[in-house]
Amino acid sequence: MTTTERLAVELAARMPAGWADVISAVDRARFVPARVWVYDENNEPQPLDRDVDPRRWWRVVYSDTAIMTQFDDGATVWPDTTGEHPTSSASQPSLMLDMLAALDVREGHRVLEIGTGTGYHAALLATRLGDDAVTSIEIDATVAQQARANLAATGHTPTVVTGDGAAGYPGGAPYDRVVATASVRPGELPYPWVTQVRPGGVIVTPWGPDYHNGVLARLVVAGDGTASGRLSGNLAFMRLRAQQDTLCPLDDGETGDAWETTTSLWVYEVVGEFSGALAVGLLVPRCHKIVEDDPDDAYHHLVRVHDPVTGSWATVDVHRGAAAYPVRQHGPRRLWDEIEHAHAWWVTHDRPTYTRLGVTVTDTEQWTWLDHPDQRVATTWTGNSDQ
């Protein structure tokens, strides 16, 4: 059994119909640089060099592991581990398969991929559909150049364009499918993706608010220029570059005078509960959260939320067994109050799971809905069909 076949076996439980032979045929190692970063058990990036530790490098490449290939648009140079934003990667194969399952490509389909990365995903699509059926766009010229080289070296010749994926690639439209390997915020799905897909075609993209890990959105394009569909999955991808945000301050971020109150809310439901946290993220936009564990007390946690745009912040000091927890808030937004209101909405609607949510996109607005597009949860006015 070859190493690529072993990877296919490891992924068998998540393998969509028609993809097992493709996974076995395309060697992931041919697309992964010798020097990369891999996250450790504490979610910290660690450098990995094929020439220094070949056994571990090969084990990682042929496992269900995400591999970081660039931080901070290339400004952070390997083996530096202080990078803030991962900006290119070889995606975790199982999540990639979930996206391919949602994409549901068929013979004769033409696909636009947003975010070429290493070129591995484009190679899979080209193997399944043919080189002429696949167009991939990559915003980073260096990454795009390396992807072209990787693809050529493995006998694949899809069209690889250097450009901003948010604009799509009208030169190859209309497409049957658009798949993004970078996530978008609620209300910020680029409308050109909709206009470049034929009616009945599908858009698949990681999607989610700053507050939440993220989900998968699968939208079907209608003849009237709208796209709509439900949410599924649990996956985290890096943002489109135009949507990257300033990270929350980790040190001395909560300075200045603060309003001091208490909360009796079961904090887990707005922090750790997947669907509850997603509801909060939808209703409290531009809000990032950090949960800090106390190394000396497993039942003590500090929840920190920030809006990097306004500088607003809030903290909640959570001790298990306490009747109420201290809350401090500062800035023009009272973020914890907003979070409690969002939680109240979720409870009032019987704590709906995230799979009951969907998204609709038009040329003038985008909204999230519960059960049906007419039952809106949150609306964002875009006002510009080019954005």
Backbone Cα Rg of the chain: 22
Which residue, 191, 305, 290, 185, is CA-closest to 245? 185
Interhelix angle 335-348/274-283, rounded to 10 degrees, is: 120
Q: What angle do CA 318, 321, 325 make, to 5 degrees?
A: 35
Collapsing DSSP to helix, strand or coil, 42 comes out as: coil
Query: What token pair was written down for 227?
Result: 């796209």
Element of type H or E holding 283: helix 274-283
User: Are the C-beta atoms of residues 313 and 284 closer than 8 Å to each other?
Assistant: no
Cα 230 versus chain centre, distance? 16
Amino acid found at 337: D
Distance from C-alpha of 208 to C-alpha of 56, rounded to nearest angstrom: 33
Amino acid found at 135: T
Three-class SS of 95-135: HHHHHHHHHCCCCCCCEEEECCCCCHHHHHHHHHHCHHHEE
Q: Choosing from 91, 136, 183, 275, which is the catalytic residue?
A: 91
CA torsion, ordered 170, 173, 176, 178, to nearest 10 deg: -10
DSSP, residue by residue, 179-242 = EESSBB-TT---HHHHHTEEEEEEEEEEE--TTS--EEEEEEEPTTS-EEEEEE-----PBPGG
Collapsing DSSP to helix, strand or coil, 308 comes out as: coil
Amino acid found at 100: L
Amino acid found at 101: A
User: Are the C-beta atoms of residues 211 and 156 closer than 8 Å to each other?
Assistant: no
Q: Is 63 a catalytic residue?
A: no
Distance from C-alpha of 217 to C-alpha of 357, rounded to nearest angstrom: 10
Amino acid found at 245: D
Q: Which residues are catalytic?
A: 91
